[in-house]
Amino acid sequence: MIPSVDVMGSFLTSLFLGFIIAASLILSVAGFLYIFLLWLKNKDRERDSLHSTLLQILLPRDNEIKIDAAEQLFSSFASIGSSGKLSFLKRQPAISFEIVGLPQDIRFYVNTPNKFKDMVEKQINGAYPDAEITVVGQKKEEKSNVFGNEYNIFSDKAKVAFESLRTKESSYLPIKVYKDLPVDPMSSITSVLAKMTEGEGAAIQIMFSPADGKWKKAGRAYIARTKKAEANPETAKYSADAKELEGIENKISKPGFNAVIRIVVSSSTKETGI
Query: Is 66 within the bounds of a domain?
Result: no
Query: Is 88 within the bounds of a domain?
Result: yes
Query: Is 20 within the bounds of a domain?
Result: yes
Q: CA–CA distance from 109 to each of 6, 43, 44, 65, 133 (Å)?
A: 76, 27, 24, 18, 9
Q: Looking at residue 90, what DSSP letter applies? A: S
Q: Are residues 208 and 262 in the same domain?
A: yes
More confident residue, 172 or 178: 172
Q: Are residues 99 and 159 in the same domain?
A: yes
Q: Are residues 37 and 81 in the same domain?
A: no
Contacts of 73 (CB under 8 A, 6+ apart): 123, 124, 126, 127
d(CA 164, CA 16): 46
Query: Is 17 within the bounds of a domain?
Result: yes
Q: Are residues 20 and 98 in the same domain?
A: no
Query: Is 232 within the bounds of a domain?
Result: no
Question: Count of domains in the chain?
Answer: 2
Q: Are residues 35 and 105 in the same domain?
A: no
Query: Is 191 within the bounds of a domain?
Result: yes
Q: CA–CA distance from 48 to each of 88, 149, 165, 217 (Å)?
A: 17, 20, 23, 30
Q: Are residues 3 and 105 in the same domain?
A: no
User: pLDDT tens-digit profile of 77-121?
Assistant: 988 877 666 555 567 888 999 999 998 889 999 999 998 999 999
Query: Is 136 within the bounds of a domain?
Result: no
User: pLDDT tens-digit profile of 113-155?
Assistant: 998 999 999 999 998 998 999 998 665 544 444 445 688 888 8
Q: Are residues 93 and 33 in the same domain?
A: no
Q: Are residues 35 and 158 in the same domain?
A: no
Q: Are residues 39 and 165 in the same domain?
A: no
User: pLDDT tens-digit profile of 33-59?
Assistant: 656 556 555 666 666 667 889 999 998
- HEC string of 117-184 equals HHHHHHHHHHHCCCCEEEEEEEECCCCCCEECCCCCCCCCCCEEEEEEECCCCCCCCCCCCHHHCCCC
Q: What is the mean pLDDT of the chain?
A: 79
Q: Are residues 203 and 84 in the same domain?
A: yes
User: pLDDT tens-digit profile of 234-272?
Assistant: 666 656 778 888 899 999 999 989 999 999 999 887 666
The pLDDT value given to residue 147? 47
Q: Are residues 17 and 105 in the same domain?
A: no
Q: Are residues 168 and 261 in the same domain?
A: yes
Range of the domain at 207: 74-112+149-213+256-273
